[in-house]
Structure 1
Amino acid sequence: MAATALSVNVNKVAVLRNSRGGALPDPLRAADACLRVGAQGITVHPRPDRRHITAEDVVALRPLCAGRGELNIEGNPFAAARPGYPGLLELAREARPEQVTLVPDGDGQITSDHGFDLERDAERLAPLVAEFRALGARVSLFVDAGSKGLSRVREIGAQRIEIYTGPFAEAHAAGRAGDALARCAATARSARALGLGVNAGHDLSQDNLGDFLRAVPAVQEVSIGHALFGEALYAGLERTVKFYLALIATA
């Protein structure tokens, strides 16, 4: 099994830029710095209200990532297109990401906070999964630890799951991560038994990532943004990315 890949989510750089207007700080420059020191990918989660990463940013990231790391676009495949946001499928057609992570977030959510209800959502997802795969993208579905119906992920053609790690991170901070870790580990094992790959993300940090990777088997990719950029304010971006890579290597 290959080492876990680190995909850095650069949304927070765009949040800071958009709070002032103009072009600075530049999320593309941040992505370049992350790739330069060894991150294996860049994640973005454009939302219809354009409050952080925009469709234009996503398209500009394509040549920057080419040959250096995977581009992973997250988003709600059911969110309608509107001015400034072409819809997730159309954006994938233009940017041609290596991976698309489908997430059931509503327009008004501050951040993703739950996975798909696979029994309810699988039939709606199936034709969209097929369209994303036809573009050459690997498709991952955002799921809760302990989610029922993982077999439906494979049935509709998705190749990976991304375990929502927010509850684990909260439990870890409170000193009671055991049950949450066990649910994540069981979900990963079930996915692997079905032939699915396993990603993970949300509120992973230097404080909890090592414990997570030691307990959860065969995680192929972690997507980290909020904590990483918060930590980078103090330690510097390139140094912080190196910290994460070292954590992964020793977990």
Structure 2
Amino acid sequence: MALLSVNVNKIAVLRNSRGGDEPSVLRAATACLDAGAHGITVHPRPDQRHVRASDVDALAELTARRGVEFNIEGNPFAPPREGYPGFIELCRRARPAQATLVPDGDGQITSDHGFDFVRDGERLRPLVAELKSLGCRVSLFADAGCAGLEQAAACGADRIEIYTGPFADAHARGDARDALALCADTARRAQALGLGVNAGHDLSQHNLGDFLRAVPDVLEVSIGHALIGEALYAGLDATVRAYLAILAAR
């Protein structure tokens, strides 16, 4: 069964829109874990638009205490700035079980593409090595159908995370067959190279089951935006449990 890591960025967005400490990112993460989520994901960005370095520290303590996975996403090439010590430094402080490298820029509303492994493979190699020296499993954000998975494996990564935004868009339009085939082919190619496969972005209760039935041996899904949106109506506990039921059915 694929594991569920809940991305709590959107809780931080709501908190930051008003200032102060509510809603609490830590309390929301705790509620997700109490409901059975297997881990917590955050994507702290240099502009601190949602999760901040202090949240990373608090969540690292929570996940360590609960014995569950902590996954930190981010662009390892983004330079440090006030309030943001840099991705590697955050991982050095938090020692997450998994570090997911994502090539997002400051101007992006959300992550919307994977790495160009042919171009970036050698740049990634020393960063992957440094993260692994900290005890992190390293996953690289990848487009379905991307070239250069050989370079992703050669730079020392443990996994890829398939960017599922295009699949989710196709699913919403009612014809996800080609997108699913591309994701499935990417997963098989990665696995043949010894890479594990994660998936994330715009996965929801509506499309997750179809994705997991088509794409072989997915190890972990990271879900935030849809899950938090659905939880506004049903509550965090019920929503996390609904996702776990979908995962168990697979």
TM-score by length of 1: 0.98
Whether the aligned pair in 2 keeps the contact of 1:96 and 1:137 (CA below 8 Å) is yes
Structure 1 residue runs without a partner (length 5+)? none
1:212 aligned counterpart, secondary structure: helix
2:198 aligned counterpart, secondary structure: strand
Equivalences for residues 93-242 of structure 1 within 5 A: 93-242=92-241
1:67-110 Cα offsets, whole Å, 9 max, x none, are 43100000000000000000000000000000000000001111
CA distance in 2: counterparts of 1:205 and 1:54, whole angstroms: 25
Match of 2:76 in 1: 77
1:138-184 Cα offsets, whole Å, 9 max, x none, are 00000000011101111110000000000000000000100000000
Instruction: Compute the RMSD of aligned alpha carbons.
Output: 0.6
In the alignment of these two chains, the number of paired residues is 249
CA distance in 2: counterparts of 1:88 and 1:116, whole angstroms: 16
CA distance in 2: counterparts of 1:9 and 1:78, whole angstroms: 22
Whether the aligned pair in 2 keeps the contact of 1:10 and 1:30 (CA below 8 Å) is yes
2:216 aligned counterpart, secondary structure: coil
CA distance in 1: counterparts of 2:67 and 2:213, whole angstroms: 27
2:141 aligned counterpart, secondary structure: strand
1:139 aligned counterpart, secondary structure: strand
CA distance in 2: counterparts of 1:72 and 1:111, whole angstroms: 17
TM-score by length of 2: 0.99
CA distance in 2: counterparts of 1:68 and 1:12, whole angstroms: 23
Structure 2 residue runs without a partner (length 5+)? none
Match of 1:244 in 2: 243
1:37-86 Cα offsets, whole Å, 9 max, x none, are 11101000000000100011001111111143100000000000000000
1:64 aligns with 2:62: yes
Name the amino acid aligned to 1:10: V
CA distance in 1: counterparts of 2:121 and 2:189, whole angstroms: 18
Q: Please identify runs of 4+ aligned residues in structure 1 that moved more than 2 A.
A: none
Name the amino acid aligned to 1:227: A
CA distance in 1: counterparts of 2:67 and 2:240, whole angstroms: 15
Whether the aligned pair in 2 keeps the contact of 1:40 and 1:68 (CA below 8 Å) is no
1:199 aligned counterpart, secondary structure: strand
How many percent of aligned residue pairs carry the same amino acid?
A: 71
1:180 aligned counterpart, secondary structure: helix
Name the amino acid aligned to 1:60: A
Match of 1:31 in 2: 29
